[in-house]
Amino acid sequence: MGQPRAAAAENGMSDAPVRVTPEIAAEAAVWVTRLHGPQRTRQMEQECLAWQQRSAAHREAFECCTDVWEGVPRVTLASAFVASKSQARHEGGGFWHRGTLRWASAAALVLAVIAGTAGYQHWRDHGVYATGVGEQQLVVLDDGTRMTLNTDTQVRVDLESRQRAVSIRSGEALFEVAKDPLRPFVVRAGGSEVVAIGTVFAVRFEAQAGGAKDTLTVTLIEGQVALQPAAGASGLAPARTVRMVAGDRVRLSGSEIGPERSAKAALDRPNLEQVVAWKRSEAVFDDVSLFDAVSEMNRYSRTPITLLRPSGLADLRVSGIYRTGDAAGFASAVAALHGLQLRDRDGRLELSKPQ
């Protein structure tokens, strides 16, 4: 079966050595496994090409892993590791020398096949998954649950015999939970936990620095869940259990923490298409403040937008659909809409009223 490979000329490949990390090798192994599976689609191929185009290391790992799949169909986990050690001693090179990378990729590939998942398996970090700024990642857990991570997110997964648990250290994730009446699915963030059996919901946890208050948002798309204080935990949590039905959104803010360190739960029913627009790489604003819109866009870009003298811009509102990660496009559109001055200075985009 043919594999999509990014063209060398189009992506600036050279003969310079590239460094392939174990994480990139593992991702490459998963891509090869998925592309050889029965659910291969054109969209999957395009996503794989986009992954390869991130760097020369991604392309190197994918090509070597593909060679292993095609050339060593009966490779086993034991033989992969034995071969990698043996070949490394023979060649006298580092672990990620091009020759030894072939067998390192084989080991990662076998691990991915054994795991039986279409997601990115962090076989070196025991259930920890993370995305960088502007990145997204789909992970299919061993129980069949689909977990989509949004930008700048870190989670830890622990699938125990009696309970399936995910801890969100920071960021946002959408969960499509596989039904298992004997093992509830629990997502913990701050001092709260969301308990479900089989449902679809999104959790966004913003752990603030510098004395700012943490915020937690839970949006239920399908089914029912319970939002409750986590046992033995302190921090951001509702005073009592909140039973949510499809369409509900509950927001907790640290600014409302009282003497018992519980937060008042604010309940509303938002437009769900807007809530999960980030899965389409979109940010949808409906008459929101410029400050909130800029904060949202800054989550997806390493080129921050800064409001100079923000108090003078407090009354400005923003509506529309914008591409996440396109900070320059958003800033230009807002500047044109409100007659603002836009300057690119020291790696940031500054918006201000004309002098």
3-state SS, one letter per residue, for the chain: CCCCCCCCHHHCCCCCCCCCCHHHHHHHHHHHHHHCCCCCCHHHHHHHHHHHCCCHHHHHHHHHHHHHHHHCCCCCHHHHHHHHHHHHHHHCCCCCCHHHHHHHHHHHHHHHHHHCCCCCCCCCCCCEEECCCCCCEEEECCCCCEEEECCCCEEEEEECCCCEEEEEEEEEEEEECCCCCCCCEEEEECCEEEEECCCEEEEEEECCCCCCCCEEEEEEEECEEEEEECCCCCCCCECCCEEEECCCEEEEEHHHCCCCCCECCEEECCCHHHHCHHHHCEEEEEEEEHHHHHHHHHCCCCCCEEECCHHHHCCCEEEEEEECCCHHHHHHHHHHHHCCEEEEECCEEEEECCC
At 99-127, the pLDDT tens digits run 444 444 444 444 444 343 334 444 334 68
Fold of the domain spanning 128-272 = Jelly Rolls (2.60.120)
CB contact at 8 A, 157 and 175:
no
At 1-29, the pLDDT tens digits run 556 666 544 444 445 566 777 677 777 87
pLDDT-based confidence at 276, cuts 50/70/90?
very high
- pTM equals 0.65
Break the chain into its structural domains and give their ranges: 9-115, 128-272, 281-352
Q: Who has greater pLDDT, 75 or 153?
A: 153
At 200-259, the pLDDT tens digits run 999 999 876 655 578 999 999 999 999 999 887 667 888 889 999 999 999 998 754 444
Identify the CATH assignment for 281-352 out of 3.40.30.120, 3.40.190.80, 3.40.50.12160, 3.55.50.30.
Answer: 3.55.50.30
At 256-268, the pLDDT tens digits run 444 445 677 899 9
